[in-house]
A = this chain, B = another copy of it.
Amino acid sequence: MIKRLVDIGAVKFGAFKLSSGLESPFYVDLRSVLGEPELFQWVIERYEAVLSGLEFDVIIGVATGGIPYASVLGYRLKKPMGYVRDEAKGYGTGRQIEGADVAGKRAAVVDDVLTTGKSVLNAIRAVRASGGEVAGVVVFLDRGQCGAEAVKREAGVYVYSVYKMRELLEELRPHIGEERYRSVLDYLSQWRC
């Protein structure tokens, strides 16, 4: 299944500019997984395996990339689910968290990819501002660029990942060639957290 991530372009190699402004020799877009029913199921199962080690009451997705995964996980695990918007909607309810009420609850925050930790830190603040606590953050891929360390340092919350990029890179090694493998490894090695 891992190779499928490359086949469908969920993991791409080249020269990319991330939303954080950083340059990168690889780009991960888990949203393309949504178009692959079998891969989507496999990714959900991986998330569930990680979540099984966490005690929580509600699942909170980080908009927009984390919403599909949080929705299916909430549905499958029969847990209340919600999502954090980037900013409170101007009309209607004006809440920053839509869906489940987190007051007095332990939330598992779910996103697809972790880079700097910025959007996850925003979600943790929103959960706490709504009276909830965060049991942990679960992502499919931690890009290994000190995001998890930033979340631990700034919010005291641990980030659990299905894959760290180095782990994914090792599994992809036979499929992407030595040169590409080395260039990404060099890129990742520059991150001293």
| Interface residue ranges, A against B (CB under 8 Å) | 16-19, 27, 29, 31-38, 40-41, 44, 58, 63-64, 67-72, 74-75, 78-83, 85, 91-93, 98-101
Contact = CB atoms under 8 A, between A and B. Distances in A.
A14 B75 CA distance: 31
Contact of A75 (B29, B40, B81, B101): B40
18 contacts: A18-B91, A32-B99, A33-B99, A34-B71, A34-B80, A34-B81, A34-B83, A34-B98, A34-B100, A35-B58, A37-B74, A41-B75, A64-B64, A64-B83, A67-B67, A67-B68, A71-B71, A71-B72
Most chain B C-beta atoms within 10 Å of own C-beta, residue among A16, A17, A37, A101 = A37
A36 B78 CA distance: 9
Interface of A, helix, strand, loop or mixed by DSSP: mixed
| Copies of this chain present | 2
Contacts of A75: 37, 40-41, 44, 72, 75
Contacts of A69: 71
A22 to B, nearest CB: 11
Contact of A18 (B37, B40, B92): B92
